[in-house]
Amino acid sequence: MTESYGITSENVAQDNLLSGSHPAVFYPVVLGSGAGSLERGQVLGRKTADSKYYKFSASASDGTEVPRAVLAKDTDAASADANTVAYVHGEFNESELDWNGASTAQIAEAKRTLVGYGIYVKKTG
């Protein structure tokens, strides 16, 4: 069965989010209703119950505590599910990512986890 996310093509902004020369790869994802109005660079986790993406939440226990992707474009999922795209591979500037209030230790752990998903976070001056 083919999944359809309602997206045929996407243009994403070019800014300081991406870092280095490693190619970035983005993929269609669904932000779950209630996720809010999220900005490009939001670190995302996937809720186990519905397999939709929400803000990474280091202290959660619903699947969103595992960082899996980085939102590629501003998307509003405050009151309904939203089809969008998220980076699933590439190099990113740590200072441009939104960690949803995670502590320094939680961010360090999240960065180690993201490497396993092909997402490399770099500190830049």
Indicate whether 89 belongs to any domain: yes
CA–CA dist 33, 49 (Å, integer): 13
pLDDT for residue 103: 97
Instruction: Extract the tokens encoding 91.
Output: 């190099």
Indicate whether 13 belongs to any domain: no
Indicate whether 76 belongs to any domain: yes
- 47-88 confidence digits (pLDDT tens): 999 999 999 999 999 999 999 999 999 999 999 999 999 999
Indicate whether 85 belongs to any domain: yes
CA–CA dist 89, 64 (Å, integer): 18
Q: How many separate domains does the chain show?
A: 1
Q: 81 is in which domain, residue-wise?
A: 25-122
Indicate whether 117 belongs to any domain: yes
- CATH label of the domain that carries residue 73: 2.40.300.10
Instruction: Tell me: pLDDT of 11 over 70.
Output: no
Query: Where residue 16 falls among pLDDT bands split at 50, 70, 90?
Result: confident
Instruction: Tell me: pLDDT of 9 over 90.
Output: no
Indicate whether 10 belongs to any domain: no
Query: Where residue 1 falls among pLDDT bands split at 50, 70, 90?
Result: very low
Distances (CA, A) of 78 to 10, 33, 36, 90: 21, 6, 4, 27
CA–CA dist 118, 51 (Å, integer): 19
Indicate whether 9 belongs to any domain: no
Whole-model pTM: value is 0.86
CA–CA dist 57, 30 (Å, integer): 17
Indicate whether 6 belongs to any domain: no
